[in-house]
């Protein structure tokens, strides 16, 4: 999947900068189950996928840095001693934020040039932002021999998103993108930042992502509001995070918080439990139980946490009606993006055709379908492999 990306960034870099760059692939991610639990110190179950960002990076001979985003046909030029956020929503904040966070660590960067291109659809809930951040972080770490560990790099990426993009994300996206293992999902404890990889044999089923191709404007503010709600309930309970709460604990303080916040907190407690049950189901090769947990996850996200939308609910409802789909839910922050579906392999084509037609009829717009494979995490592309892909 990265061949076209690789060729485009290499050609652009050669034409613009006349050098042989360091090449990096940083994947997006799916999340099988465990949504919005990461910033509550809970468990998540993500996996890196074979869609992502390719970066070409090299030291610059000039007194400034140049970053080119081919996806947006956009170029920025900046000086390392004059870093400040760009306008809200700009792609360049992901690059500038990483640079700023590295400098806060007391590391000295030289000037550099970077060309970026990805194939993760924007707003799909597949963490194109984490892929972009990690590609820049790893590239700069390698280029200037900064000595950061992979764990240190994901926190640099996360802080860039907090402080320059304005999204108070958890660590799941950056972790999955950086540490992904081919054919595995990672059962990640977001408190210890340790994960157990699980080899997943989907047997006669396939993962199918269906993109609503909508991203409602509530997404960023609602994400931050929900994080604040979880922190408020944790404070009332006198605990560090909702990972430490039980349903019984929440019942005891139900009259001290709004019903809306109670339901949000209850969802987090239940979803954290579902990730643990999902790990057991995968260990037992029990895809039917995994599928039911995935359906339950969506019900909680839609009815309790209230981060779904009409388009996402429609796609999950169509999946439930189909006996060949054993699990489906919205994936990502919410208010648009993709559903993840576990579909019988021989029925994928018919399912996609049916649900696409129904979606177009209902919303007068098309959805998009992606078939993904589980991938290795952010890494340098070996020059030999890069030549073979040309």
From the list 191, 209, 212, the residue with the least C-alpha distance to 337 is: 212
The H or E element spanning position 221 is helix 219-237
Tokens coding 20: 């042989």
Distance CA 387, CA 348 (A): 34
Contact call for residues 244 and 256 (beta carbons, < 8 A): no
Residue 385 above 80 pLDDT?
Answer: no
**280 CB neighbour count, 10 Å cutoff:** 12
Distance CA 144, CA 324 (A): 51
**What are the structural domain ranges in the chain?**
3-199+377-389, 205-371
Query: What pLDDT is attached to residue 155?
Result: 96
Mean pLDDT of the chain, nearest integer = 93
Q: What angle do CA 359, 360, 364 make, to 5 degrees?
A: 120
Q: Please write the tens of the pLDDT for every residue from 252-270.
A: 999 999 999 999 999 999 9
Query: What pLDDT is attached to residue 384?
Result: 47
For the domain 205-371, what is the CATH code?
3.30.70.890
Distance CA 349, CA 357 (A): 12
Compute the 3-state secondary structure of the chain and give helix, strand, coil in percent, each to the nearest 5. 50, 25, 30
Tell me the average pLDDT across 191-205.
91
Per DSSP, the three-state class of 105 is coil
Distance CA 186, CA 200 (A): 10
DSSP 204: T
Residue 383 above 70 pLDDT?
Answer: no
Residue 89 above 80 pLDDT?
Answer: no
**384 CB neighbour count, 10 Å cutoff:** 8
Distance CA 172, CA 269 (A): 17
From the list 349, 344, 336, 342, the residue with the least C-alpha distance to 301 is: 336
Query: What pLDDT is attached to residue 86?
Result: 84
CATH of 3-199+377-389, one of 3.30.1330.60, 3.20.20.110, 3.40.30.10, 3.30.230.10: 3.30.230.10
Percent above pLDDT 70 for the chain: 96
DSSP 242: G
Distance CA 238, CA 160 (A): 29
Residue 244 above 90 pLDDT?
Answer: yes
Contact call for residues 377 and 184 (beta carbons, < 8 A): no
Alpha-carbon torsion 304, 306, 310, 311, what sign? Answer: negative
Contact call for residues 178 and 24 (beta carbons, < 8 A): no
Query: What pLDDT is attached to residue 299?
Result: 98
Query: What pLDDT is attached to residue 220?
Result: 66
Query: What pLDDT is attached to residue 218?
Result: 57
Tell me the average pLDDT across 314-336.
94
Q: Which residues are catalytic, by number? A: 173
Tell me the average pLDDT across 175-180.
96
Tell me the average pLDDT across 335-349.
94
Tell me the average pLDDT across 132-158.
97
Q: Please write the tens of the pLDDT for every residue from 91-144.
A: 999 999 999 999 999 999 999 999 999 999 877 778 889 999 999 999 999 999
Tell me the average pLDDT across 26-52.
95
Q: Please write the tens of the pLDDT for every residue from 216-228.
A: 665 567 878 999 9
């Amino acid at each position: 999947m990265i061949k076209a990306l690789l060729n485009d960034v290499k050609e652009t870099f050669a034409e613009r900068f006349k050098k042989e760059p360091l090449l990096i692939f940083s994947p997006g991610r799916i999340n099988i189950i465990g949504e919005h639990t990461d910033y509550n110190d809970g468990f998540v179950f993500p996996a890196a996928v074979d869609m992502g960002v390719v970066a070409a990076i090299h030291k610059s001979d000039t007194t400034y840095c140049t970053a080119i985003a081919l996806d947006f046909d956009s170029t920025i030029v900046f000086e390392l001693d004059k870093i400040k956020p760009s306008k809200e929503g700009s792609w360049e904040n992901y690059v500038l934020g990483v640079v700023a966070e590295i400098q806060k660590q007391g590391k000295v960067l030289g000037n550099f040039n970077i060309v970026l291109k990805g194939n993760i659809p924007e707003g799909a809930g597949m963490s194109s932002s984490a892929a972009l951040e990690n590609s820049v972080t790893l590239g700069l770490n390698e280029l200037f021999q900064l000595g950061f560990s992979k764990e240190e790099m994901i926190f640099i990426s996360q802080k860039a998103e907090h402080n320059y993009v304005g999204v108070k994300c958890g660590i799941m996206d950056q972790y999955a993108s950086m540490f992904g293992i081919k054919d595995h999902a990672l059962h990640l404890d977001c408190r210890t930042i340790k994960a157990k990889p699980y080899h997943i044999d989907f047997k006669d089923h396939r993962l199918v992502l269906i993109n609503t191709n909508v991203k409602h404007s509530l997404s960023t503010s609602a994400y931050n509001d929900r994080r604040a709600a979880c922190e408020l309930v944790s404070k009332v309970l006198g605990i560090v995070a909702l990972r430490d709460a039980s349903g019984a604990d929440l019942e005891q303080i139900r009259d001290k918080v709004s019903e809306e916040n109670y339901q949000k907190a209850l969802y987090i407690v239940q979803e954290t439990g579902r990730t643990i049950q999902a790990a057991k189901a995968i260990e037992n090769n029990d895809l039917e139980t995994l599928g039911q947990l995935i359906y339950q996850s969506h019900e909680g996200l839609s009815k309790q946490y209230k981060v779904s939308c009409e388009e996402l609910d429609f796609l999950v409802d169509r999946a439930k009606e189909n006996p060949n789909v054993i699990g489906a839910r919205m994936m990502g922050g919410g208010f648009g993006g993709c559903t993840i579906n576990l579909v019988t392999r021989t029925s994928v084509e018919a399912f996609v055709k049916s649900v696409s037609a129904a979606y177009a009829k209902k919303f007068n717009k098309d959805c998009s379908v992606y078939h993904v494979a589980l991938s290795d995490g952010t890494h340098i592309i070996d020059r030999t492999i890069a030549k073979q892909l040309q």
